[in-house]
Amino acid sequence: QLQLQESGPGLVKPSETLSLTCTVSGGSISSSSYYWGWIRQPPGKGLEWIGSIYYSGSTYYNPSLKSRVTISVDTSKNQFSLKLSSVTAADTAVYYCARRTVTHIFDYWGQGTLVTVSS
């Protein structure tokens, strides 16, 4: 059974960089059939797609966040990571990692991790 697990600091200071890692178990991140992505949800609000990466390193970002987002992949560790720079309180959210199929389905999700931006 595929499992995804987010990890990283739960508290980040304003203007700093948020960094999260998603560890994939029960399957290979190098599968040609899937992409790997990040989605966030501010407290009490809806979902927002951040971006996705293919095992080869090809990336796709939400234009509204593109200038601040970097997603990378480490196939040797079966992990992919998110960096979001220059964070503000508006970036406070539960961050989910998820697997995305080639037909645009987010079929497996991590449990989510709350990141709070505060001094």
**31 makes contact with another protein (CB under 8 A):** no
Judged by CB, which is closer to another protein: 15, or 31?
A: 31
* Residue 62 binds another protein, judged by CB under 8 A: yes
Instruction: Give Cα 32 distance to the centre of its chain.
Output: 19
DSSP secondary structure code for residue 57 in this structure: S
**Residue ranges in 85-104 that form contacts with another protein under rule CB under 8 A:** 96, 103-104
Interstrand relation of 113-117 and 11-12 (parallel, antiparallel or unpaired): parallel
94, 112 Cβ separation under 8 angstroms: yes
Stretch that binds another protein, among 15-23, 57-65, 71-79, 85-93 (CB under 8 A): 57-65
CA 117 and chain centroid, separation: 16
11 belongs to the binding site for another protein (CB under 8 A): no
| CA distances, 30 to each of 41, 48, 70, 95 (Å) | 27, 25, 19, 22
Q: Which of residues 16 and 48 has its CB atom nearest to another protein in the complex?
A: 48
Instruction: List contacts with another protein (CB under 8 A).
Output: 46-49, 52, 60, 62-64, 96, 103-107, 109-112
